[in-house]
Structure 1
Amino acid sequence: MMSTPAAGLSDTEFERFREYFYNRTGIQFTTSKRYFVDKRIDACIRNSRHDRFASWFAELRVPDRPEMLQDLINQLTVNETYFLREDYQFDSMLSTVLPNVLAARGGVRRIVGPLKILSLPCSTGEEPYSIALRLLEEWDQIDHVDVEIHAADIDSAVLAKAAHATYGERSVQRVPKAWIRKYFSEVAPGYIQVAEDIRNAVTLHRVNICDTAAMRSFRDFDVIFCRNVLIYFDELSSRRAAENLYGALRPGGYLFLGHSESMSRISPIFTPARLPDGIVYQRPTGAK
């Protein structure tokens, strides 16, 4: 059977691609996403030296061409975000979670090592920089505790944007004007950049949350924000991601999910904790 020209995939090609992408990333596209997938793959084929799916897909699977897979991942992942999104969870972090973390680790004067926070996936950086701003402006212990903020994503293109940390008006519309004057500078009409000292305070990583081997480098985090990504996974990938997040947390550490996500539907290994502003999931104290 001849391959379809770069103008849409056949049903067989779509199924072959969907299985391959799922095996490499844990992300499974339903048939309702068919139009979106067709368009993005069509763009990748047209930007390559190929004119048909078959030859492009064959090269994609060559082990020494990881840049092709990364380009595809960048095309197919959704990265819509903005500063202070779902900020009621930041309220919970400041009012309840961080005090609990400090108490569990012996208090401000006895804490050993940094307090570690992870944003995964971090997209173009609005979430980890929001965390930094809320800590600087509103956490009364920020001058007494060493805090490390880490941010990770599977998409190399959005990580490059996060490193540059330049945003348009829509991204910062919820940021108080006083904070913008204090922590941002205009770099072009309609665009502002996060201050260098805050950019340097966030460490960026590229990782696939479903890659257990790669996730082993993430350890002893006190707080993880993993919002609005598990909804894209099937049951098996969601469970694997949950186990990797569990391994990344310090015993007693806290996990924030998106408002439409529930860990109780995925895995029983976390303990739900009801806070004044919602639910957070905790790795049990003493768990191994």
Structure 2
Amino acid sequence: MTRESTIASAPPAALSDDEVARVGALLYRWTGMIFGANKRYYIERRIGARMARSGMAEAARYLDFVGTNPAEREALINAFTINETYFYREEHQFAALARQILPELIRTRRPGDLIRIWSMPCSTGEEAYSIAIWLLENWPLVDAYHIEIVGSDLDTAALAQAQAGRYAARALARLPADVVERYFEPERGHRRKIIDDLRESVRFTPANIVDRATLTGLGRFDVILCRNLLIYFDDDSRQLAASNLFESLNSGGFVCLGHSESMARITDRFTMARLEDAIVYRKP
């Protein structure tokens, strides 16, 4: 049974106003995301599903349990994360990566040097794999440098799907047919599995953008794609995330945000760069 089918089959929990607020406070502390009273139905559906899976009938008891049980906390976070993504989403940024960002970075590199790219949050892997595919298809120097692509997310269930590399037709809809044929093997039911060489070229690992302790082991990157995440944060969480992104970049590195997000409204530590294909932010 999938996560969404579990949520659909379980009855919503009947939470009091205080319990809704308590759920919101827990999720904010753990993830930086805002779930207020206006998301009551969304909260009650997901809490109801986790209560059913845990065999608990009382919300207060479940919230006590999740506060002290790391495995259940992970499962609850997974239930609340939003994984709306597909291959080649906002592809103008991939164009900027190949046409402007990487050519700028290699001005101070030699062939064979390491270039590190981070997809955060990576959800079920479409973005991280899109980076690899786009560079193979569109950057003539891709084989001249050691390109390391890392995908991270706090949703461990999504990461497991990313590592498996299996996708339905909807996720592949924006890809040209010849690209699908080159990089995906057909499976039953119109599903496709990404070829092993490409799947093994991307590393996936859990991380939380508002928890510095989960990021330090990842090292620093030359390019970070952190798209459509900060819109779910309040000002304090955005500033913490921006600080962690800054510390995760090499000097001269680039951050790509979602089309409705602006680093300039969060911090002045980055320099905005208006490229031909996209607006990005650079660490001086």
| TM-score normalised according to structure 1 size | 0.92
1:77 aligns with 2:77: no
User: 1:55 is matched with which residue?
Assistant: 61
The runs of 5 or more residues in structure 1 that have no matched partner are none
Q: CA RMSD in A?
A: 1.3
Of 13, 19, 30, which residue of structure 1 is paired with 2:36?
Answer: 30
User: 2:242 is matched with which residue?
Assistant: 242
SS in 2 for 1:209: coil
1:18 aligns with 2:20: no
- Separation in 1 of the partners of 2:120 and 2:12? 34
- Separation in 2 of the partners of 1:279 and 1:132? 21
Of 92, 97, 109, which residue of structure 2 is paired with 1:93?
Answer: 97
Moved over 6 A (4+): none
**Cα offset, 1:30, TM superposition:** 2.7
- Separation in 1 of the partners of 2:205 and 2:187? 25
Contact preservation (8 Å) 1:81, 1:126 = yes
Code of the residue aligned with 1:194 in structure 2: it is I
- Separation in 1 of the partners of 2:70 and 2:172? 34
Code of the residue aligned with 1:99 in structure 2: it is P
Deviations 1:135-184 (A, max 9, x none): 11111101211100000000011101001111111100111111111111
Code of the residue aligned with 2:98 in structure 1: it is L
SS in 2 for 1:171: helix
- Separation in 2 of the partners of 1:239 and 1:119? 19
- Separation in 2 of the partners of 1:276 and 1:238? 27
Contact preservation (8 Å) 1:6, 1:53 = no
- What pairs with 1:1-12 in structure 2 (closer than 5 Å)? 7-12=13-18
Deviations 1:196-250 (A, max 9, x none): 0110000001011100111122322110000000110111111111111111110
Contact preservation (8 Å) 1:26, 1:237 = yes
**Cα offset, 1:46, TM superposition:** 1.5
User: 1:221 is matched with which residue?
Assistant: 221
Code of the residue aligned with 1:82 in structure 2: it is Y
Contact preservation (8 Å) 1:219, 1:250 = no
User: 2:155 is matched with which residue?
Assistant: 155
**Cα offset, 1:278, TM superposition:** 2.2
Deviations 1:72-121 (A, max 9, x none): 01110110110000000101111100000101x23x34x64x10000000
Code of the residue aligned with 1:151 in structure 2: it is G
Count of residue pairs the alignment pairs up: 274
Contact preservation (8 Å) 1:118, 1:223 = yes
The percent identity for this pair of structures is: 41
1:255 aligns with 2:261: no
1:207 aligns with 2:207: yes
- Separation in 2 of the partners of 1:208 and 1:91? 27
Contact preservation (8 Å) 1:123, 1:153 = yes
1:130 aligns with 2:130: yes
- What pairs with 1:107-122 in structure 2 (closer than 5 Å)? 108-109=110-111, 112=113, 114-122=114-122
Contact preservation (8 Å) 2:87, 2:175 = yes
Code of the residue aligned with 2:134 in structure 1: it is R
**Cα offset, 1:6, TM superposition:** 6.5
User: 1:67 is matched with which residue?
Assistant: 71
Code of the residue aligned with 2:71 in structure 1: it is E
- Separation in 2 of the partners of 1:67 and 1:7? 20
SS in 2 for 1:269: coil
The structure where helix makes up a greater share of residues is 2
Contact preservation (8 Å) 2:184, 2:193 = yes
- Separation in 1 of the partners of 2:137 and 2:277? 20
- Separation in 2 of the partners of 1:6 and 1:130? 36
**Cα offset, 1:31, TM superposition:** 2.4
**Cα offset, 1:32, TM superposition:** 2.0
Contact preservation (8 Å) 2:24, 2:35 = yes
Contact preservation (8 Å) 2:115, 2:148 = yes
